[in-house]
Structure 1
Amino acid sequence: MGIRTHGGSLAPGGVVGDGRYRLLAQFGIDERGGAHLWRARDGQLRRDVALTILVGDPADVDAARQGRRTLERAAHAAKFTHTSVARVLDVLTLGNGISSSEGLLGIVVSEWTKGTDLIDLVNEKRIAPSTAARMVQALAEPVERAHQSGLVLGIDHPQRLRVTPDGHLRLAFPGPLPDTTLRDDVKALGAVLYLLLTGRWALPGGPPAIPAAPRNQTGQLVPPHVIEPRVPQEMSALAVRTVSDGGQGGIRTSAAILRVLDRVAAEEERTRKQPEEVDPDGTVWTTKKPVKDAERRRKLALGVSALVIAAVAALAWAGMMAISFFQDDAPSGPPVNLADETSEQQPQDNGEGGGDGDGDGDGGRTTPGEAITPADVTVYNPEGEGDSVSEAPLAVDGDESTSWATDQYQQQFPAFKSGVGLIAAFDDPIDLARVRILADSPGTEVEVRVADSADPALSETRTVAAGALDGPRTELTLDEPASAEYVIVWLTSLSGEEGEFQSELTDVMFLPSA
């Protein structure tokens, strides 16, 4: 039996909101707060709207208080605008659009979101991991922006979300529950990712239309890649760690999720295999267009150049041998010891050796033996998740076609955190005199710090040099050489403009004293 309302029942065809909104179809119930989710028709403005209807007894003091808190939070959310969040149009309360006879505590009216119900989508098919990453990424962006303003969106129920015609996830039924926190929004992002990858919901209070996520004997979530082997392990770990409360290294910010999702989705798309065809003679071919790979072209050009030089050298040698063979007069003067002559033409050893110790040279960017290659380089971020962790070694690989980049931040440091950087570990302490940075990130403020351990707190490090990156090549010189086994390149201000702050380091070289 439907719930009685003014002029009818909470069923298709019924009207609510003093008769203004006619109910068309129900899209779910969030049982945790008695929130019924409906599509309705606004009789005054003749448009479809989404209604989050709070059902309860107005005489129940506790229920009425909880309902008022939800409506207050929805009213605050009306100030927030983002394409991935349905705009709140009105909030109806008892005595202001809701009569006590309707058996309702309030209604949140928002614009209607065209598209597909998220539950219908996941029940129909599994989503490709790269697509799932992009969908959650688009939802994580408004969560991050809302959290920076102190707002909770309340996305922790799958029936509150819809998929737009262009494939984006959207919060279609705003109205966060009274006790929903910022952390609940973040956990919901992990749960949505888990749902897209496995078809299961990983948080309590989910709808009966989808099964709950399985857990092991210790109560921990079963990773998505165990259920769906095609899921990349890094994406699987992200979903579990985001939903987790700590036992599995929980991720606590939407910014951290955005960083990982961007990297994982890009890597998954890059490594996706193209269809191949095999000719009868065994030749493998594909219709895929050649990849415009700058690094591959550079190596090919170098190889061709080396081949041409070798060919010219061979022809020159053959010509000299022919001249020597047919020459009648013997050379005058004492015989020349070519080994001695070559030795005299070589540069004198200045005690620094002929290389950087790793045998791979420095690509012509620094004097041989000058830069010291660290044994290991990792992202240093004592305040949480690191930025582009897997790409940290690219900053010291001597290859100017690779780089390490920070995440993109909406606000400049230190609004979100005090900084981020790289920590280089050396097998033995070095006498550090200079740090040379190749980067096209003007305005980036850098501090060079030294530490006594591999994972120090920022207060346990010591600043030995500082400056700004004002060109493609910047050298920070220490006032006095410092003996250090661990060196930190710490970014305290990023390049870019409002909403798009990001810095990228192409190469970092650690130079000892002469």
Structure 2
Amino acid sequence: MSGKPTESVTPRQDGGVPSRVGLPAGAILGEGRYRLLARLGADHRAHAEFWRARDGALSRDVAMTVLVSGSEESAAGGAASASGNAEVVARTRKTLERTSHIGGFIHPGMARVLDVLPAGKGDPPGVLGIIVAEWTQGHDLVDLVADGPLPAGTAARLLEPLAAAVEAAHHVGLVLGADHPQRIRVTPEGELRLAFPAPRPEATPRDDVRGVGAALYLMLTGRWALPGGPNSLPAAPTGPDGTIVAPRTLQPAVPHQLSAIAVRSLVDTSVGGVRTGAAILQVLEQAAAAEAETAMMRAIEERGEPAELTPAEAKEKARERVRRRKLVAGVMVLALATAAVLIFVVMSAVDMFAGDKKHTTPPLVVGQSHGGNAAPPVGPVVEVASAEIYNVKGTPDNRDQVARVVDGDPESRWRTDSYRQQFPALKPGIGVQFRLKEPTALSKLVVESPSQGTVVEVRAATGRNPRLDDTRVIGQARLDQRQTDVQITSAEPVQHVILWITELAGAPSGGNLSEIAEVKIYSRG
């Protein structure tokens, strides 16, 4: 990835468009709490400027969307100017109201909204309101394509979290405002994130979908396909009929599916445009998986696979190696378990004949669950980078709540949907996938849940959103206490861990559902 970090406090230009109200770096907003550090862009359709700012009360950087009057003519006075300002003020009020509704929405693909404030005492002239969100480290999306388009697989992988955030928000009736490139940043982990959420008054879910498609188009071609983009980005070309030229036409290496979904997300639904982020997300996942498979094939070739193998033969050979590794791992686990049982039997027999009950070896129980008085953890708690719903069939359950399982608050909970029939009648299960900061050997998961009777598995995965068959069980337990320890049977380091619910608890009102309050993951000592 190319791009320049925006960690400097020096104001930068965004396409040569000056600040509409002349806000300088160093200005103080929010009744003295926030100090502007660097201007990162502007969406003039929304009369919004994007700033990195400093929260003096909590000593942290924040992402600030400043809503401004944006009218140089207002200084000249006049009825037309007053009318225009009244309209801007009304739009600002609506934007603040809509943004306040997404304050409780938490997703890895969007910076959490921390504060929504109208203009206050002491704010610079022309400021009508501010929206404060978490600061997203990393790079600007615009800078990412400064050196040219990205490989298709890389673009798909980058965009997945943002598309997932849009889909999750729409599922609960929210609009995020993800339709401008300078609202989006690239995290150090290489994922797109909506860094400056704030939907325009007229924005609809369809605008978010178009924004995701335009971001994909930008990464594939280096051109922006929606109106109102920064001057620094060239506009997407159009054909004689006015339709957007497909990315594949500009960059022949772009796969057909990605090119098609980028265009379909931009055109009207009456002529075949896609309506939901889920449709885009599905294509992105397929493209990212294809890139991973291609990388594996390339690695095989570099290790010296025979040149005469056809692509199909090499692909099958790679799959055979994966199956062989899984088989060897399974045999090793079985051998270790058998040895442990034999040792237990021998020791029990020795103790029985010796008649000494003081030294009787305790029985070996794999997957034993313990209550809240569990023994001290073997190692420290592992830092979780992100948590998201892992779903293999049907609709993901309450995506907007999933961050609650790692928010440190046992009173906030993620809950599954309520099912009339127990798993696996409608789907094989539902889960939460955790991405750890780095690969770690685990000792246990401590699951806090009020839903006694829930049966869970802990599964190790090699990446985001794998097929269920490509994961492996490394622990399992029935949640029979408020806190249950799920012991991990594998010492192999993992970075992607899935808490997979295979059996739901019964609900007092009928049906089957489970709630998870907190999950803590412990490393091995």
Q: Measured at CA, do residues 67 and 495 of structure 1 come closer, stay the same or move farther in structure 2, by a change above 3 Å? A: same
For residue 38 of structure 2, the aligned residue among 25, 29, 32 is 25
- Aligned with residue 237 of structure 1, among 260, 284, 296: 260
1:278–1:269 CA distance, 2 compared to 1 (3 A): closer
Out of 95, 106, 127, the position equivalent to 1:104 is 127
Matched, 1:197 2:130: no
Change (3 A) 1:63 1:270: same
How is 1:82-97 mapped onto 2 (pairs within 5 angstroms)?
Answer: 82-94=107-119, 97=120
Which of these residues, 20, 24, 30, is aligned with residue 11 of structure 1? Answer: 24
Question: Of the candidates 275, 279, 296, which is equivalent to residue 252 of structure 1?
Answer: 275
Contact 1:259 1:407 in 2 (8 A): no
Residue 406 of structure 1 deviates from its aligned partner by: 6.9
Q: TM-score, normalised by structure 2?
A: 0.54
Q: CA deviation at 1:225?
A: 1.1
- Describe the SS at the equivalent of 1:39: strand
Distance change in 2, residues 1:268/1:47 (3 Å): closer
CA distance in 2 between counterparts of 1:102 and 1:468 reads: 60
User: Does the C-alpha gap of structure 1 residues 289 and 90 become closer, same or farther in structure 2, counting only changes over 3 Å?
Assistant: same
| Counterpart among 396, 404, 407 of residue 410 in structure 1 | 396
Mapped partners of 1:248, 1:232: distance in 2: 22
Distance 1:142 1:117 in 2: 18
CA distance in 2, matches of 1:497, 1:34: 42
Q: Match of 1:63? A: 88
* Corresponding residue number in structure 2 for 1:400: none
3-state DSSP of counterpart to 2:163 = helix
User: Kindly tell me: are residues 160 and 277 of structure 1, through their superposed partners in 2, closer, same or farther at Cα, counting changes over 3 Å?
Assistant: closer
For the residues of structure 2 that align with 1:4 and 1:411, how far apart are their CA atoms? 43
* Alignment-derived partner of residue 497 in structure 1: 430
Shift of 1:48: 1.1
User: Structure 2: where are the runs of 5+ without partners?
Assistant: 1-16, 75-81, 325-390, 399-418, 434-464, 470-525
**2:156 paired with 1:133:** yes
Q: Relative to 1, partners in 2 of residues 1:282 and 1:222: Cα closer, same or farther, differing over 3 Å? A: closer
Hey, what's the Cα distance between the residues in 2 that align with 1:469 and 1:19? 54
After TM superposition, the structure 1 = structure 2 runs for residues 103-252 of structure 1, keeping only pairs within 5 Å, are: 103-246=126-269, 249-252=272-275
2:146 is paired with a residue whose SS is helix
CA contact (8 A) 1:200 1:210 kept: yes
Equivalent residues, number: 320
Counting only pairs closer than 5 Å after superposition, residues 267-346 of structure 1 correspond to structure 2 as 267-271=290-294, 274=298, 276=301, 291-293=318-320
Whole-Å separation in 1 of the counterparts to 2:137 and 2:468: 39
SS in 2 for 1:241: helix
Corresponding position: 1:53 with 2:66: yes
- More displaced 10-residue stretch of structure 1: 55-64 or 20-29: 55-64
Q: Which amino acid aligns with 2:428?
A: S
SS in 2 for 1:493: coil
CA distance in 2, matches of 1:101, 1:173: 21
Paired residue secondary structure (1:242): helix
Q: TM-score, normalised by structure 1?
A: 0.55
- Closer/same/farther in 2, CA of residues 109 and 193 from structure 1, 3 Å limit: same
Answer yes or no: is the 8 Å Cα contact 1:98–1:104 preserved in 2.
no
Within 2, Cα distance between the matches of 1:38 and 1:3?
A: 11
- Which amino acid is the alignment partner of residue 181 of structure 2? P
Q: CA deviation digits over 1:334-378, x for unaligned, max 9?
A: xxxxxxxxxxxxxxxxxxxxxxxxxxxxxxxxxxxxxxxxxxxxx
The one-letter code of the counterpart of 2:214 is A
Residues 283 and 38 of structure 1, relative CA distance in 2, 3 Å threshold: same
SS at structure 1 position matched to 2:298? coil
Supply the distance in 2 between the matched residues of 1:40 and 1:245 (Cα, whole angstroms): 37
- Name the structure where strand makes up a greater proportion of residues: 1
* Residues 175 and 249 of structure 1, relative CA distance in 2, 3 Å threshold: same
Asked whether the equivalents of residues 52 and 63 of structure 2 are also in contact (C-alpha less than 8 Å), the reply is yes
Residues 90, 293 of structure 1: alpha-carbon distance in 2 compared, 3 angstrom cutoff: same
Aligned equivalents of 1:209 and 1:257: distance in 2? Answer: 26
Shift of 1:265: 2.3
Q: Letter of the aligned partner of 1:199 in structure 2?
A: G
Q: Is the 8 A contact 2:30 2:123 kept in 1?
A: no
Instruction: Please give the alpha-carbon distance, in whole angstroms, between the structure 1 residues aligned to 2:302 and 2:277.
Output: 42
1: CA distance, partners of 2:136 / 2:145 = 18
Cα 1:406–1:213 shift into 2, 3 Å: same
Aligned 8 A contact 1:494 1:502 in 2: no
CA distance in 2, matches of 1:195, 1:257: 15
Q: How far does the alpha carbon of each residue in 1:8-60 deviate from its partner, in whole angstroms, 9 at most, with x for none?
A: x5111222223322211111010101100001112222211111000107962
Q: Secondary structure at the match of 2:269?
A: coil
SS at match of 2:130: strand
Structure-2 change in CA distance of 1:3 and 1:161 (3 Å)? closer
Where do 5+ consecutive residues of structure 1 fail to align? Answer: 298-404, 413-443, 446-466, 471-491, 506-514
Cα root mean square deviation, aligned: 4.0
- C-alpha distance in 2 between matches for 1:55 and 1:200: 27
| In 2: Cα distance, 1:237 partner to 1:282 partner | 33
Task: State, as a whole percentage, how many aligned pairs show the same letter.
Answer: 47
Contact conserved, 1:85 with 1:142, CA < 8 A, in 2?
A: yes
Report the residue type matching 1:217 in the other structure.
P
Q: Highest relative contact order (Cα 8 Å, sep 6+), 1 or 2?
A: 2
Please report how far the alpha carbon of residue 4 of structure 1 lies from its aligned counterpart in structure 2 after TM superposition. Answer: 9.7
CA–CA distance in structure 2, aligned partners of residues 213 and 170 of structure 1: 22
Q: Contact (CA 8 Å) 1:278, 1:284: kept in 2 or not? A: no
Alpha-carbon separation, structure 2, partners of 1:187 and 1:169: 15
Cα distance between partner residues in 1 of 2:168 and 2:303: 50
> Whole-Å Cα distance in 1 between the matches of residues 18 and 245 of structure 2?
39
Residues 125-134 or 182-191, more deviating: 125-134
Letter in 1 for 2:272: G
Instruction: Read off the aligned partner of 2:115 and give its amino acid letter.
Output: D
